[in-house]
Structure 1
Amino acid sequence: MDTLVMTSQLPLYAVLASALAPIPLILAGRNPNMREAVTFAAGFLKLWFVMKMLPPVLEGKVLEYTLFEPVAGLPVQFRVDGMSMLFALVASSLWILTSAYAIGYMRPLKEHAQTRFYVFFAFSLSATLGVAFAGNLLTLYVFYELLSMSTYPLVTHHQDAEARGGGRRYLTYLLATSVGLVLPAMLFCYLKSGDMTFAAGGFLAGKVTPTEALVLLLMFVFGFAKAGVMPFHGWLPGAMVAPTPVSALLHAVAVVKVGVFCILRVVTGVFGLDFLEQLDLGLVVSFIAGFTVICSSLIALSQDNLKRRLAFSTVGQLSYIILGASLLSDLAVKGSMAHIAMHAFGKITLFFCAGAIYVATKKKYISDMVGIGRRMPITMVCFLIGSMSVMGLPPTGGLISKLHLLLGAPDSGRWWLMLFYVVSTLLNGAYLLPIVFRAFFKTGKHFDAGTEVQEAPMFCLVPLTLTAIGSILLFFFPHLVFELASLMVEGS
């Protein structure tokens, strides 16, 4: 049955809700309460527009809106389907919680340039939704690059030597790969097919040779470096110099998830699952992703800085998603899409906890956090829940998506690829659970048996508690996530 396409301006309104927010943010810059009220207003308005699009998408409809057409037959166009909706719901809902968390983080630390921070935060969320709603490769590429530019001032927020170095590495990796790999791959696709519009089953089948298809696939996988595939992952740990609210949303949700979202979109909407399976091209990407999963987990074991350990964990978890997509089975691809949501809630909880620890104690090294569970019991319980979600343990949503990924391997006829997930899960436990054990069951020089409970400010504590609860709720109520993921797979 043909998909019903509806013309709607709602995707444009959702993108503009935060794109226009910088104007009142700048005007209210001298009044912190007003500035943050504007941030919340924009966040709730964005979420409301996204929610308005949910019912027709669940009915199997696609919402479409063309902004303009720079080249005949090649418009800058929004197109909202199940895949778009799932990513947009995750990003827009977690932006509200991160905005609240930013108040509890930025104010106690008396961070400078807070207005600039909120301005570029808003721009970055607009670019993220632009990627989510992109109807073709051109639109995807434009908003992908806008996201790189709008997050650079956030990465370099502290404006010291370390921040500038992290920012240079950030832009170098992301721009070099997108301009050097994605752009020529995109143009080649257009030359061979005369099209760039994402379509059910892709648009390259029968128009490129197997060799050309393999080269193009690798150019997209490595070119979308926000996905953190090795060896183009070095920007992500370096970007941890940013304030924790940036690390939490942009490097646990928006930026990194944009990378894997783009790869999923290319796999399903440019090549198509059937075409890739026919050419047997998934195996090459499986080995690249599997290598990244294991190596990043091993590197995470050696990191004493908590945010860097979480950063290398993110590198591995992103490749979970890519590995699932490369299996090309319906079960694994559904698991990949669902893992975007499940991992987002678990990992943002961990980053929120890391920031709360720093706000309350100024500690950022794991070796200095022995016994910290006595000082911050709520934070560390939430850290445990986030860890369980990342590991894929019940009762958290991470178990549901990881089961789909695991079972997707035998479903694809390559059961032995399950080993990447199994070994990685053991390594996840090896670098996360000792943090919790030492926090609650050991005594250190900083936090001994007589330590009083003293959590971070409520604006830090409440968001991390809500995201931890969200990770548990996704275990019991995963239906919406998988319904949207199913719409994507059925259309590919």
Structure 2
Amino acid sequence: MTSTLLMDIALLLPFAGAIGIWLAGRWPNLREAVTLATAGGLFIVVITLLMRVLDGERPEIHPIQLFPGVSIDFVLEPLGMLFATVASTLWIVNSVYSIGYMRGNNEPRQTPFYICFAVAIGGAIGVSFAGNLLTLFLYYELLTLSTYPLVTHKGTDEAKAKGRVYLILLMGTSMLLMLPAIIWVLTAAGTTEFTPGGVLAGAGLTTGMLAVLYTIFMYGIGKAALMPVHFWLPAAMVAPTPVSALLHAVAVVKAGVFSVLKITVYIFGIDLLAETGASLPVAYIAGATVVLASMVALTRDNLKARLAYSTVSQLSYVVMAAAIATPAAVIGAAMHIAAHAVSKITLFFGAGAIYTAHHLTEVSQLDGIGRKMPITLGTFLIGSLSIIGLPPLIGVWSKWWIGVGGADADQYWVLAVLMISSLLNIAYLMPIAARGFFVAPPDAKPGEPVALKEAPIACLLALLATAALCLLLFFGASELETLLAEIAPVDAAQPPVEGEANVNLQ
């Protein structure tokens, strides 16, 4: 089967799955089987394409020519394959988790939930395969529209109000900022094609104009949640936990930071940004967001709200690293997309499992929860340590490369941001595990063992899978670096743990 045909299948399969889910909606077991089969099929297709990209293939499809210079194009390249692999892998895990969560909580409207989820994944695959800014923009908007019903899934007044915040902020930033920025690029460079090295080097833009254009793009990509355009993300936590996982780990915010990185590398070009310093103002804003959002997370007692502000902080690692515009920083930014995805989905799965089993939502309510749910809180601890950046978990590698990239650019404040944010990560995450394991449950009786009560088995299987990915990706970091070497070739740096992931990326 040709690579272009596989691309067609990957782009169409989630939408075909959505139709199948709709047709099977009257039979829950069949509906969920269709969901899992579609997710599994997409994963197989994406992994096959990943192997071919690693072997040097760069297939393209050009289905629609709108007018000269403007078309709908799809191109496979390493950065897009990273995002597609993350999205397709975690769709399987999230689907398994959703079965346990949605049934365990007797959630209404489960068929529309699975349909919108499939369409959202289709949007994410379109974003990852996009060959130009127009294609990226169209699928980016589809992703927003398809996730809005998921955010408002509960149908309450609160859900509808926060859903409006979600839709207005994301559609507003993309229509008022991102779209004009795309038109500016087309006017200046005559193309919006994603091109190695960028398209703006010879476009005649001054450093000031480049800085303005880059800033407009970064705020136009509202899904990256750069302060102060971040309120939609905490607002969206009104959604069920599988949706929160979709927003934070599988598709939505990852589409945002992926777009940041792709535009940085393939529209501006890191050489142009490094030479002019046009992206440094955004780097400073992102660095401030990393720290400020972590400080806000520290004040939130609601577990999902705490994790939401943690995500705002973690996304800005990617924006900061991209804006530093050194090869090592770009490697770190790309790796952080994968590292944060598997780490944060583990945390949200844990929060949802606690709610499903015990209907607890506040950190202050979690005394002794680890004694009742040792698997859940144990995996939550693994995700927390990965977010903090401790070996042997994947989070250490992305922070390492971002730090190296900051030093390469003589931006040593980046190292300070990394250290301060890691300490804040410890401050808002570790007390959850500490009180869960080391404080007695409020209903415990002296001398009697604490009764175990975990979430449904589907939830536990998903938790164990994502926690395992945090560990496996640590040891598979060299494969990630090999995949990303083409977009930002750098000399191998000494790794933080001797013997791991020491590869030559020339």
Give TM-score scaled by structure 1 length.
0.97
| Aligned residue among 146, 149, 154 for 2:145 | 149
1:204 aligns with 2:203: no
| Aligned residue among 117, 122, 125 for 1:121 | 117
Q: What is the match of residue 97 of structure 1?
A: 93
> What SS does the aligned partner of 1:21 have?
helix
Hey, what's the Cα distance between the residues in 2 that align with 1:105 and 1:436? 22
Q: Alpha-carbon deviations, 1:422-441, whole Å to 9, x = none?
A: 10000000000011000001
Which shows bigger deviation, 302-311 or 322-331?
Answer: 322-331
1:25 aligns with 2:24: no
Change (3 A) 1:448 1:230: farther
Hey, what's the Cα distance between the residues in 2 that align with 1:327 and 1:199? 20
1:441 aligns with 2:438: yes
Q: What is the match of residue 62 of structure 2?
A: 66
Q: Which amino acid aligns with 1:470?
A: L
Instruction: Please tell me whether the aligned partners of residues 345 and 471 of structure 1 are also in contact (alpha carbons under 8 angstroms).
Output: yes
Query: How do residues 40-51 of structure 1 correspond to structure 2 at under 5 angstroms?
Result: 40-51=36-47
Q: Alpha-carbon deviations, 1:177-212, whole Å to 9, x = none?
A: 000000001001101111000001100112122222
Instruction: Please tell me whether the aligned partners of residues 208 and 278 of structure 2 are also in contact (alpha carbons under 8 angstroms).
Output: no
Q: Which amino acid aligns with 1:316?
A: S
Instruction: Please tell me whether the aligned partners of residues 283 and 320 of structure 2 are also in contact (alpha carbons under 8 angstroms).
Output: yes
Q: What is the match of residue 168 of structure 1?
A: 164
Hey, what's the Cα distance between the residues in 2 that align with 1:204 and 1:387? 40
Query: How do residues 183-222 of structure 1 correspond to structure 2 at under 5 angstroms?
Result: 183-207=179-203, 208-222=205-219
Deviation at 1:12, TM superposition (A): 2.1
Q: Alpha-carbon deviations, 1:285-340, whole Å to 9, x = none?
A: 11110110011000000101100100000000000111111111111110110110
Q: What is the match of residue 106 of structure 1?
A: 102
| Aligned residue among 301, 320, 344 for 1:304 | 301
Instruction: Please tell me whether the aligned partners of residues 11 and 122 of structure 2 are also in contact (alpha carbons under 8 angstroms).
Output: yes
Deviation at 1:342, TM superposition (A): 0.9
Q: What is the match of residue 398 of structure 1?
A: 395
Query: How do residues 387-426 of structure 1 correspond to structure 2 at under 5 angstroms?
Result: 387-426=384-423
Which shows bigger deviation, 412-421 or 150-159?
Answer: 412-421
| Aligned residue among 270, 273, 276 for 1:273 | 270
Q: Which amino acid aligns with 2:7?
A: P
Q: Alpha-carbon deviations, 1:349-396, whole Å to 9, x = none?
A: 000000000000000111111110110001101010000010101110
Q: What is the match of residue 3 of structure 1?
A: none
Give TM-score scaled by structure 2 length.
0.94
Instruction: Please tell me whether the aligned partners of residues 248 and 344 of structure 2 are also in contact (alpha carbons under 8 angstroms).
Output: no
Q: What is the match of residue 470 of structure 1?
A: 469
| Aligned residue among 234, 237, 241 for 2:234 | 237
Q: What is the match of residue 52 of structure 1?
A: 48
Deviation at 1:476, TM superposition (A): 1.5
Hey, what's the Cα distance between the residues in 2 that align with 1:387 and 1:417? 22
Instruction: Please tell me whether the aligned partners of residues 224 and 316 of structure 2 are also in contact (alpha carbons under 8 angstroms).
Output: yes
Deviation at 1:7, TM superposition (A): 7.0
Hey, what's the Cα distance between the residues in 2 that align with 1:254 and 1:153? 15
- Unaligned runs of at least 5 residues, structure 2: 491-506
* Identity rate, percent: 46
| Aligned residue among 348, 372, 379 for 1:382 | 379
Q: Which amino acid aligns with 1:364?
A: T
Instruction: Please tell me whether the aligned partners of residues 370 and 447 of structure 1 are also in contact (alpha carbons under 8 angstroms).
Output: no
Q: Which amino acid aligns with 2:374?
A: P
Q: Which amino acid aligns with 2:473?
A: L
Deviation at 1:281, TM superposition (A): 1.6
| Aligned residue among 363, 370, 373 for 1:373 | 370
Instruction: Please tell me whether the aligned partners of residues 346 and 471 of structure 1 are also in contact (alpha carbons under 8 angstroms).
Output: yes
Q: Alpha-carbon deviations, 1:455-491, whole Å to 9, x = none?
A: 1110000101110011011111212221122122249
Instruction: Please tell me whether the aligned partners of residues 214 and 279 of structure 2 are also in contact (alpha carbons under 8 angstroms).
Output: no
Instruction: Please tell me whether the aligned partners of residues 211 and 279 of structure 2 are also in contact (alpha carbons under 8 angstroms).
Output: no
Q: CA RMSD in A?
A: 1.4
Instruction: Please tell me whether the aligned partners of residues 124 and 147 of structure 1 are also in contact (alpha carbons under 8 angstroms).
Output: yes
